[in-house]
Amino acid sequence: MPGGSHRVGTVRVVTPLRTDLPPGAQLPPRPANAPAPGTVLPSHYVRCFACGDQSAHGLHLRVDADAGLALCATFEVTEHHQGAPGLAHGGLLSCALDEALGALGHLTRTSLVTGRLETDFLRPVPVGTVLHLSARVEGVLGRRVYASGEGRLNSPTGRVAVRARGLFVEVPMEHFVTHARAEDIQAIEQDPDLIRLREHQTIF
């Protein structure tokens, strides 16, 4: 995907986007303890708008591990997801890709938050569409994980409607504890099943 560009006089200056893979980034091997291809990846938080099953009008994204550092995901666009009449809101499509790219942390075995996300909207996505997403790690440099993905209409081989690249940053669990509201932490302490952590991690 091209970077940004502008003209200085007659000269076109190309600026790499900050989601472009920087020199030195490498694609790490798939960790031995990464979930096997085909494994349904758990929602990290049942109240998550994108993947949680307790978010009434959320996306209810279903995410499956793929081979390598990649995954696929699906969700159905409902009437609660409209922007223009009968069409999915663009921010919501970005949200779906944000979640899919962020869920690559299940495969790298790290907790990732979004630093930057760039989305191309290529086709309108009508209500009733099942969006088939795929996402992959492009490279890792220190705590930075570069990822890309796309969403296709109604089938894994359908027309590409939306595409994204993201820069994610690995954070410790303390990130979430430090920044959450006290009532949310208390709710999790009372019902640890609200979050679904990978088995090697502990929180609170």
Ligand X SMILES: CCCCCCCCCCCC(=O)SCCNC(=O)CCNC(=O)[C@H](O)C(C)(C)COP(=O)(O)OP(=O)(O)OC[C@H]1O[C@@H](n2cnc3c(N)ncnc32)[C@H](O)[C@@H]1OP(=O)(O)O
**3-class secondary-structure state, position 55:** coil
Asked if 144 touches ligand X (CB under 6 A), the answer is yes
Chain Cα centroid distance, residue 47: 16
Exactly one of 55, 78, 114, 154 binds ligand X (CB under 6 A); that residue is: 114
DSSP letter at 126?
B
Asked if 44 touches ligand X (CB under 6 A), the answer is yes
User: Minimum CB separation from ligand X for residue 149, in Å?
Assistant: 12
- CB count in 10 Å sphere of residue 11: 7
The span from the CA of 56 to the CA of 177, in Å, is: 24
Stretch that binds ligand X, among 8-16, 107-115, 128-136, 157-165 (CB under 6 A): 107-115
User: Minimum CB separation from ligand X for residue 19, in Å?
Assistant: 8
Asked if 113 touches ligand X (CB under 6 A), the answer is yes
Binding-residue total with ligand X (CB under 6 A): 19
The span from the CA of 171 to the CA of 151, in Å, is: 26
Asked if 192 touches ligand X (CB under 6 A), the answer is no
Asked if 163 touches ligand X (CB under 6 A), the answer is no
Residue 100 sits at φ, ψ, to 5 deg, of: -60, -45
Phi/psi zone of residue 185: left (φ > 0), alpha (ψ -120 to 50 degrees), beta? Answer: alpha
User: Minimum CB separation from ligand X for residue 171, in Å?
Assistant: 5
User: Which residues contact ligand X (rule: CB under 6 A)?
Assistant: 18, 44-45, 98-99, 102, 111, 113-116, 142-144, 167, 169, 171, 176, 195
